[in-house]
Amino acid sequence: MTARSIFGALFAAFIFAACSGGNAPETHEDSAQDLVDRITQSLDITYRVAANKNNEPCALANGAEYVGAVCYEGEITLSAKDDITGRDWAIFFSQVEPVAEVHSDEFELVHINGDLHRIQPTDAFRGFQPGEEKTVSFIVRGQVLTEAKLMPNYYVATKNAQAKIINNTKIKIDDETGLATKPHIKAITGADEHFKRSKNDLTPLATASYLFEQSK
């Protein structure tokens, strides 16, 4: 083999290696983006305020407690329409008061900074089967007396992909009333569980029907 042939072969090998190295991240990015897209379209989030507490501890099923002037017990339920596998992704969302305690085997829920919180699969995460639900229970230092305090636009992020908002956490406009709604927020109902300041609180809840009766 001549010197020119050897040089040509080495040059071709160099170009092939460079091109191969440049293409590898694109394949990974496409795969990561597919995962983000699938989660945003398939995963439904439900946020539920289970109970507001005044001068009594909030507690979770794993025995965790928070004792403070006020707190509330909440749940975030994740349900999937399609298979979701892998652990290299996270959901970020706004939570006005920081989470104090968490109970979940397959997810961690942590306060990042300010109102930013993150839900991320743990090593115990087994993925989602179609129709499967998983719930993260938590305690928050504070109270929620109105759904306006609960934020929309949970977004999914992973490496080498553009973050996207989970579809069912986006604000929707009611066709009949023209008012903004948040489909992922479960309605806060039950005066005893949420609105009474103590067991001796006899203040009536100012519902529309109560105000109507009072104004007669």
Q: Under 8 Å CB-to-CB from 49, ≥6 apart: which residues?
A: 72, 73, 74, 144, 150, 186, 188, 194
> What are all long-range contacts of 59-66, with beta carbons under 8 Å and residues at least 24 apart?
59/139, 60/101, 60/102, 60/103, 60/137, 60/138, 60/139, 61/103, 61/137, 62/103, 64/101, 64/102, 64/103, 64/139, 65/101, 65/139, 66/100, 66/101, 66/139, 66/141
What does the pLDDT read at residue 18?
43
What is the value of pTM for the model shown? 0.78
Q: pLDDT below 50 — which residues of the chain?
A: 1-30
What does the pLDDT read at residue 28?
39
What does the pLDDT read at residue 198?
67
Which domains are seen in the chain, by residue range? Answer: 45-191 (2.60.40.290)
